[in-house]
Chains A and B, each alone.
Chain A
């Protein structure tokens, strides 16, 4: 029911019983008025929404257009279009920096993001099963602990963690072990958001299925693998999407833990491009920024319904 027809009803009721002969005429008039009003409302809605869309997406549009412009025009020329548009910036961005090609950084980011997805889905689903389906002493206390870890700023644990990983020789190596400090938390369900999301989802699943399985003699591992995991697919997909995007965009931890250029993730490499001492120009920065955003944008286009739906149901942060 649209609000305008409702207003119409209210007005009719408010004005008291009209003379009978006018009734048909009046209702016709009111209906056409309501129609006009709803049309006006709709046009207004789209005008306002479009203006907001244009303002919001302008920076993204500006970035893409700038990535094709030569450096001096990016700053000097406010018009998004350039007569000298070319792919030169991209060619330069792909060359990379410090003798590491763009693809090295890209692969590093991809490894970290994919392993994060594996870690989060494996560990958080198992832990969520314990919280939502098994009764054991101390469960509620641990659940409260899990929730409160979501409120604690990461910065209070990063220093001791860094000291330990540094003593173990895991900080800034040339080999892939440099990724261990970034990934270990993902495999130990340290991100409460994902555990919470899966617990909420599992609590919504009917108990009958696992009870039936238990009567048939299945233990928890069996119930988890054969019954819960298949049913949890929507929650697993949502978690995977966010785990990937967050790991891809992560900057603080990689900045601290990765300090050999051949193990830089894209975000850390991007930061080097901004550094004036590395002597790169705006054109290359823009092209790199676009390339770094492409995987996230692809994920968004492919899964936008699940991403927005996941936010709405769990209150996850983007």
Chain B
């Protein structure tokens, strides 16, 4: 092995060796902020929370080793099951809906028209502010009893009660809030649509393909890497919804635990009840679930994501 390598590459002169060492030194020097951050703020804490997840720790008394008790307790905890249900529904319904809307609007905007830039910016704005507390407050005030949405509902025969207090309608309300923020994936779709060579459409037109056929035989395959990127990104984000649910339910996860999202429950356990061990177990289950979902997405992507030859 060593002789093979040596025969391929001429031995380094002392000068080159020194140069390499200096370059390695400079590399680690420039990388040092990230290295410190990675080990102290990400890798270290991840290991620590994994260890904590096997203990009972309340910040004040010494951690007590429990083994897998936290994990077995999870599956008997009705709040945990509720949190999984709410978050799962939110991810499964909200993410595809958001991507569908963003793709449809991107297709609409992908024509040369005047004011296209204006529309693009206007549609993007909700994505920029949507996660903020301000917007959650607006959403709550619009959907509350006798609020503007309830009044519109009354015109169509509603009884004037809002969505905020109705456990059946809080999830649709939050899904609407995430769909409202379709602008970010839309902009990425638009960038992807721009990359599709026009010749493909021209060739299809000569062959007599209609709009429908063009969309499914050219646009969709060519756009599938972007769709995959958006799907992975939005799914991972959807799992971590916190701000809007926290504000709209006033920090309770109510009514009737209908907005008890996963991260909300984790916050309650960790920072309200100070059950740090249990909260760490919750966090690790989230990491594992997100990891599995991402892995599944990547695995299935071979079947439906098309990478054309020249694109990497």
Show the binding face of A for B, using Cβ within 8 Å.
Answer: 2-3, 6-7, 10, 13-14, 41-42, 45-46, 48-49, 52-53, 56-57, 59-60, 62-63, 66, 74-76, 78, 123, 126-127, 129-131, 134-137, 139, 142, 145-146, 149, 151-164, 166, 184-185, 187-190, 195, 219-220, 224, 245, 249, 251-252, 255-256, 267, 270-271, 273-276, 282, 285-286, 288-290, 292-293, 296-297, 300, 304, 307-308, 311-313, 315, 317-318
Contact = CB atoms under 8 A, between A and B. Distances in A.
Interface stretch (B34-42, B67-75, B88-96): B34-42
A109 B191 CA distance: 33
Contacts of B135: 59, 289, 293
Contact of A156 (B49, B151, B202): B49
B268 interface: no
Q: How large is the interface on B (under 10, 10 to 19, 20 to 34, 35 or more residues)?
A: 35 or more
Contacts of A130: 26-31, 34
Contacts of A157: 41-42, 45-46, 49
Contacts of B283: 153, 155-156, 158-159
A57 B125 contact: yes
B253 interface: no
B163 interface: no
A159 B183 CA distance: 32
B42 A155 contact: no
A270 B141 CA distance: 14
A82 to B, nearest CB: 13
Given A49-B109, A123-B34, A256-B267, 5 more contacts: A75-B147, A126-B30, A130-B27, A158-B270, A308-B124
Nearest to A186: B37
5 contacts: A249-B133, A273-B137, A275-B250, A282-B141, A311-B124
Given A46-B113, A130-B31, A152-B287, A63 B108 contact: no
B33 A313 contact: no
Contacts of B43: 145
Contacts of A255: 246
B222 interface: no
Contacts of A45: 108, 111, 113
B188 A315 contact: yes
Interface in B269-312: 270-271, 276, 279-280, 282-284, 286-287, 290-291, 294
Contacts, number: 280
A153 B52 CA distance: 17
Given A156-B46, A190-B37, A289 B134 contact: yes
Given A151-B294, A189-B33, A311-B184, A14 B208 contact: yes
B233 A317 contact: yes
Contact of A317 (B137, B184, B280): B184
Interface in B81-139: 105, 108-109, 111-113, 115, 119-135, 137-139
Main secondary structure of the interface of B (DSSP, over half): helix
Interface stretch (B6-14, B166-174, B236-244): B236-244
A255 B136 CA distance: 15
Among B27, B28, B251: residue with most chain A CB under 10 A: B27
Contact of B188 (A66, A137, A276, A312): A312
B37 A304 contact: no
A76 B145 CA distance: 9
Contacts of A151: 236, 290-291, 294
Contacts of A290: 134
Given A56-B122, A135-B23, A66 B141 contact: yes
Contact of B138 (A6, A59, A134, A307): A59
9 residue pairs, one from A and one from B, having the closest CB atoms:
A188-B37, A136-B27, A130-B30, A318-B127, A160-B48, A289-B134, A312-B191, A160-B45, A157-B45
